[in-house]
Each structure stands twice: as C-alpha cells, then as structure tokens.
Amino acid sequence: MFKDFIKTLKNHKRVAVFSHIRPDGDCVGAQVALSKWLTDQGYDVTAYNDDDVSDNMEWLTEIVTINKPTEEQYRQADIVILVDGNATHRFGEMKEWQDTYQKPIMIVDHHPEPEDGFDCLVSVPSASSTCELIYKLYEETGIDKIDENTAKALYTGIITDTGSLQFDSVTPETVEIVADLLRRGDFKPDEVINKIYSNKTINQFQLLGMALNTISLHEDNQFAVMHVTKEMMSATGTTNSDTEGFVNYPLSIKGVKIAIIFKDLEEEGVKMSLRSRSDIDVNVWARELGGGGHKKAAGAWHKGPLKQAIADTLDIGKKQL
C-alpha cells in the first residue's frame, strides 16, 4: 500500500506534514504517528495546522508539536504530506502557497474521490480512518516501531472516526488493529477515552439542552434537523467546537435516516454536519452544497440565513429519497 509513498519520499529531506483545518482526532492522531515514523526514518519533519487543536487533544501535541505554518516555512519544505483530506482547500493557507511553490504533494486519506494533481496518493475510502492507514505503514515497515505514544495517537484516530468502533466502516481488521495497539502501547482504553470524551463542561450540556429542543422531523420522520445559533452559544458561554457530537442525538431517533445539525455562525455563514444511518449518501448531498466528506458523515457551508440554509438543504436531500 505504501510502496509508492516510500519511493516518492526518497531523496527528499525536509517534510511538511499537514492535518486538515478544524482538526479532529483522526487527522491529529495520523499526523502525530506519521511524523514520528518520518523522524524515525531520518527525515527532517515539521507538523502543521492553521487552526488550534482542541483542549481534549492537546496531549497529542506534546508527543509531536503542531505549528501554524508560514509561507517561508512552506517555501523551505522539500515535500508535503496531507493527512485525512482529499483536496488542498481542506488544509488552509497552504493551498495558495502551493500555487506559487509547486511542491511535490502526497496524501494519506480515506475520503472518496480525491482531487487531481497529487504526486502520490494513498487513498482508501473503505478504511475506517486515516489512522488505520498509518498503522499499515508501520505494519509494512516495522510494526515494532509502534511505541506507547504512537499506539495512543493511532487509537485516538480510529476510536473518534468510528464512533468508538460503532460505524459500518469498522471491519474485523479494524478491531484487530485496535487490539494490537492496546497490546503494543500497554495502555487501558480509559486512559485515552477520558482525555478525549470525559472533559465536558456544564456549559456544553446547557447548549446541548437548547439544541435538543430545536429538533424537528421532516419527510415522514426520515430527516431530523437540529440547530444551534450564536445567541445560544453566547447565552451558555460556548463556541462552535462545543457542538461536537450533538448531531448523534437526532440521528438515534427511531426511523431517522439522516440527521443534520446547522450551526448559525452569522457573518461566517451556516456550517452544517450531515450524518446518515441509511443508504443515503451524505457526501453526494454535501457536495451539492460545495462541501464533502464520506457516505455516512459529511459537512458543508451555506451563506445563510439559517432558515434558508435549512430549506435549501432539505430540498436537495428530498431528491435522494
């Protein structure tokens, strides 16, 4: 799987590893584990992200520092690796710098239909997570190199991208990989799970309470819609990132095939997260709105206002029924 990847890397020294903007557990876990692998292979590695990593994943940045990139740093890199995203626009400012400097770029990713123009793609849409792919890189090149920190980073990505091993992207092999990570890292699940999930604030629950009250059902109860506004966030002292996981509540309503949370960020627009518990492909749906993602989890932006965003989005979805 990584033959071309390793070949393309050769003869380069300075490697810039990017994770996608608004980073999640999978992209950060993969970035950390891949950066460790590259360092171990003798490359001069720097990890980058335009955005801050959320508090619950800060411990991962103690394993490998993640820096905000500058144009000058980009100019100095010999080769660029993008993890957990299929298009350069998902990685922030580097998209513009790439137009100028034309660096060789490789991706390691599991989103369908990657954009053209990469020098090497390790693109496996059937993989549960990008971390599962990075595990395979270790497997192909020396599995014993997985130490405690690498195991915890990869574990984080697999667990967060699979809803704790519940999604249909999970295969027996995914579970075997998780077992192997627990063994090699010699840690208990709750050491990582507590850091990632058990650090919620009362404010988040107050926001969740408000959001649950907005749930409405459409198209014969097949679509569930939830929303959060800036007003609700300021009333509860929360921000956009505090809505992580909210969409799973409407998705678990009996008979619901699709759940969408709309986040009205006012001047920025309306950000939506779509989740499917059926054959309906929310990647196709999100792409019609200029976004993307996977069959079962995708996201997009709408210019707003909120009511219009909800109406337009439901109109697109109806066509898929």
Nearer to ligand 5GP, 49 or 273 (CB): 273
User: Which residue shows structure tokens 């990582």?
Assistant: 192
Least CB distance to ligand 5GP at residue 57 (A): 14
Region binding ligand 5GP by CB under 6 A among candidate stretches 10-18, 53-61, 204-212, 297-305: 297-305
Rg (C-alpha) for the chain, rounded Å, is 20
How far apart CA 53 and CA 40 sit, in angstroms, is 24
Nearer to Mn ion, 84 or 264 (CB): 84
Q: Give the tokens for residue 208.
A: 């969740």
Determine how many CB atoms are found less than 10 A away from the CB of residue 70.
Answer: 12
In sequence order, the 6+-apart residues with CB closer than 8 A to the CB of 34 are 17, 81, 83, 108, 134, 137
Half-sphere exposure of 150 (CA within 13 A, CB side): 25
- Binds 34: which of Mn ion, ligand 5GP, none (CB < 5-8 Å by kind): none
Supply φ then ψ for residue 292, to 5 degrees. Answer: 175, -165
- Binds 293: which of ligand 5GP, Mn ion, none (CB < 5-8 Å by kind): ligand 5GP
Nearer to ligand 5GP, 77 or 233 (CB): 233
Least CB distance to ligand 5GP at residue 273 (A): 3
- Strands 44-48 and 66-67, sheet pairing: parallel
Please pick, from the candidates 23, 250, 291, 317, the single residue that binds ligand 5GP as defined by CB under 6 A: 291
Distance of CA 149 to the CA centre of its chain: 20
- Binds 109: which of Mn ion, ligand 5GP, none (CB < 5-8 Å by kind): none
> Taken in order 208, 211, 213, 219, is the CA torsion positive or negative?
negative
- List the strands of the sheet with 120-123, edge to edge: 66-67, 44-48, 14-19, 79-83, 105-109, 120-123
Please pick, from the candidates 69, 157, 292, 317, the single residue that binds ligand 5GP as defined by CB under 6 A: 292
Under the criterion CB under 6 A, does residue 250 sit at the interface with ligand 5GP? no
Residues that bind Mn ion (CB under 5 A): 26, 84, 130, 161
Least CB distance to ligand 5GP at residue 163 (A): 11
Please pick, from the candidates 210, 298, 306, 309, the single residue that binds ligand 5GP as defined by CB under 6 A: 298
Distance of CA 272 to the CA centre of its chain: 14
Interactions with ligand 5GP, residue window 266-285 (CB under 6 A): 273
Alpha-carbon torsion angle 264, 268, 269, 272, nearest 10 = -60
Least CB distance to ligand 5GP at residue 14 (A): 27
- Binds 26: which of ligand 5GP, Mn ion, none (CB < 5-8 Å by kind): Mn ion
Closest by CA position to 64, among listed 17, 24, 134, 10:
17
Under the criterion CB under 6 A, does residue 25 sit at the interface with ligand 5GP? no
Nearer to ligand 5GP, 44 or 115 (CB): 115
* Residues that bind ligand 5GP in the complex, under the rule CB under 6 A: 273, 291-294, 297-301
